[in-house]
């Protein structure tokens, strides 16, 4: 049985954003069942957990002795068993991986850089300006397509939409009709809704 790690409780403002959600969502898309190993906040830094995740973070994925960390790597691994996440055709598959990397390498660092700065931090305005510019480029690339690579949802959209969700408390995505509709389209998928329910249900 697949086991993933998740927190048993986190502050309200990050519920629905903790990165095990990406893995739960990918598992739902793939139709794979799993159990969540719930950690009280803080236990992720204990040596026995760090032996599995060197940075002391959730999620990890475990199956038949294989242990993986990094949500992107885990989603790609699950994608090997799910054609709707990773298409079989070589070019489409490479483009899906390209968007996974873009979401984690070209978008998420700037989202996190902004999100981690307090409102009174003088660096925040510059971080916001850069982020808005980068997201305008993403929006331009998305254009009128429903998904990043065109007509079909892939692992790239799973990662990109969860990265954009981090900005839910701001108007940075919601003020862009294309990106905002894109996030809504991705997160309306039954697999996302089941994953979100499962994460929320595990908090107590």
Ligand X SMILES: N[C@@H](CCC(=O)N[C@@H](CS)C(=O)NCC(=O)O)C(=O)O
Residues that bind ligand X in the complex, under the rule CB under 6 A = 18-19, 44, 56-58, 70-72
Residue nearest ligand X by beta-carbon distance: 57
CB of 30 to ligand X, least distance (A): 18
For the chain, the C-alpha Rg in angstroms (whole number) is 17
Nearest distance in Å: CB 22, ligand X: 7
The nearest distance, CB 70 to ligand X, in angstroms, is 5
Widest CA span in the chain: 49
Task: Tell me whether residue 68 or residue 148 sits nearer to ligand X (CB atom).
Answer: 68
Supply the minimum distance, in Å, between the C-beta of residue 169 and ligand X.
15
Edge-first strand listing for the sheet containing 66-69: 34-39, 2-7, 60-63, 66-69
Task: Pick the closest to residue 67 from 50, 79, 84 (CA basis).
Answer: 50
Among residues 29 and 176, whose Cβ is nearest to ligand X?
29
Closer to ligand X by Cβ: residue 20 or 176: 20
Count the residues in the chain. Answer: 204
Q: With respect to ligand X, which residue has the nearer C-beta, 56 or 146?
A: 56
CB of 72 to ligand X, least distance (A): 6
Query: In degrees, to the nearest 5, what angle opens at C-alpha 154 toward C-alphas 150 and 159?
Result: 115
Q: What is the DSSP string of 37-59?
A: EEE-TTGGGSHHHHTTSTT--S-
What are the two backbone dihedrals, phi and then psi, of residue 34, each rounded to the nearest 5 degrees? -155, 165
Q: Closer to ligand X by CB, 26 or 176: give it.
A: 26
């Amino acid at each position: 049985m697949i086991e993933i790690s998740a927190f048993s409780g986190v502050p309200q403002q990050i519920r629905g954003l903790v990165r095990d959600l990406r893995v739960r969502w990918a598992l739902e898309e793939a139709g794979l069942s799993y159990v969540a190993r719930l950690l009280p906040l803080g236990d992720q830094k204990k040596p026995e957990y760090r032996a599995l995740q060197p940075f002391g973070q959730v999620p990890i994925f475990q199956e038949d002795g294989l242990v993986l960390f990094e949500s992107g790597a885990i989603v790609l691994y699950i994608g090997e068993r799910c054609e709707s996440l990773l298409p079989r055709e070589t070019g489409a598959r490479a483009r899906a991986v390209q968007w996974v990397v873009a979401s984690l390498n070209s978008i998420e660092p700037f989202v996190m850089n902004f999100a981690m700065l307090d409102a009174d931090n003088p660096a925040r305005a510059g971080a916001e300006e850069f982020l808005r510019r980068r997201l305008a480029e993403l929006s331009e690339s998305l254009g009128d397509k429903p998904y990043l690579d065109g007509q079909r949802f892939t692992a790239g959209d799973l990662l990109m939409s969860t990265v954009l969700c981090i900005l839910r408390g701001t108007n940075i995505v919601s003020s862009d009709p294309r990106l905002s509709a894109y996030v809504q389209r991705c997160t309306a998928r039954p697999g996302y809704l089941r994953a979100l329910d499962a994460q929320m249900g595990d908090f107590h």
